[in-house]
Structure 1
């Protein structure tokens, strides 16, 4: 029985290595087209240093140090890079031919098993090798979905600032900017107009973390309820 379990374990590990290796090859081959299309759809969005500090403190504390993957308290299982990899490789430009078939397959696997599938993490490593950190940050700022207003999607931090606060991004107070950051995790639930009390609570918690008054309670603490 032990021998059978050993063989099964080796088989599973071998299959997993082949699966991840295939993703690496596909992502590396497809990345020039997918990354180019993603960068073409982005626009320049400038953050003030103090705004960038708040954003990274919440979304990816060691963003400029890691290679695409990291496990920091309060970050969950997703870095900025891995979130972008998901959008660029799986939900961005649609590929044709064999590459398109593989893209559809990997997208279906992720949709089915996103909490267990580490294929996206391989894509994040590929993305990080080919897109600078500043380009990644700009992609996040210009392409993030931040809720809906008057039946229209709000895409990008600069547009969220105008839609929800009637200000340019650079003119937001840190509290207002924290209100935009508060929406990133769940734009519908933390909507400042539809759920103002819930949004205000999360904004206050983000400000406490940004000011060093509180720390996330472990890797998977994304709500900061103790703050």
Structure 2
């Protein structure tokens, strides 16, 4: 038994060393290719941070990455920030051909923290985000970036959008298909309304994963991972389960009460 435990301990240690070496290699490799990747990407941008007015910039960061200019690529503390910062979003775009949760999420987080945050300025990060973010499809073609979205959905330049139009595009970022401006106008309008409350300060995100600022209807929930809400089906199941537990506890209490009364009656009669 002792030999087996010793073997198991060594095996775990070896696996740990392999994992550490793997991620160290990935970080070093990312450091080497980052200057070339970013130089190429920045040459092809159509929208710069300066193309947004201050209100547009503040609104975007308030929803997508409230602590963007303060954190170091990763933020797991700010309410409403979610699990993916703007820096991590860029890491997913530029360092992964295919992204699957698990080890890829750890790799994404490490590269965002120790490579992108250190080698790419915040303004360049934001510029790339404005140009690469996926914003649904229009007329059968994928839409990437704010300038493309402004033209595709409103036939305007991003700087000429009204506040509501701009926020409707921001509303799509979290789930472009569920909050699509054309295909799901009601869901988009509802999310835009909630975003306005966050920006105005009328609503304060309650925790890290408070991304939808309240519950969503069943149709909007489809295809979304539960984050700040409990899907209706789960909520109904929970309520039904709680009601069943309540009934059973009531029956148990009545049975215990009856048992006590019976026991008391029995003791009184036997003592006479």
TM beyond 0.5: yes
Equivalent residue, structure 1, for 2:38? 35
1:20-169 paired onto structure 2 within 5 Å: 20-45=23-48, 46-71=51-76, 72-91=78-97, 107=98, 110-111=99-100, 113-114=101-102, 117-124=105-112, 125-169=114-158
Q: Distance in 2 between matches of 1:76 and 1:68?
A: 13
Pairwise CA distance, 1:140? 0.8
Secondary structure at the aligned position of 1:146 is classed as strand
Length-normalised TM-score, structure 2:
0.70
CA offsets per residue over residues 123-168 of structure 1, 9 Å max, x none? Answer: 2130122211111111111121111111122221122122222332
Give the aligned CA root-mean-square deviation in angstroms: 2.2
Higher relative contact order (Cα pairs below 8 Å, separated by 6+ residues): 1
Structure 1 unmatched runs, 5+: 92-106
Q: Which residue of the partner structure matches residue 18 of structure 1?
A: 21
Q: Contact 1:73–1:221 at 8 Å: present in 2 too?
A: yes
Could you tell me the TM-score, scaled by structure 1's length? 0.83
| Count of residue pairs the alignment pairs up | 209
CA distance in 1, matches of 2:11, 2:211: 36
Flag as ranges the 4+ runs of structure 1 deviating above 4 A: 1-9
Distance 1:75 1:50, change over 3 A: same
The alpha-carbon distance between structure 1 residues 219 and 12, as it changes in their structure 2 partners (threshold 3 A), is: farther
Bigger radius of gyration: 2
Q: Which residue of structure 2 aligns with residue 189 of structure 1?
A: 178
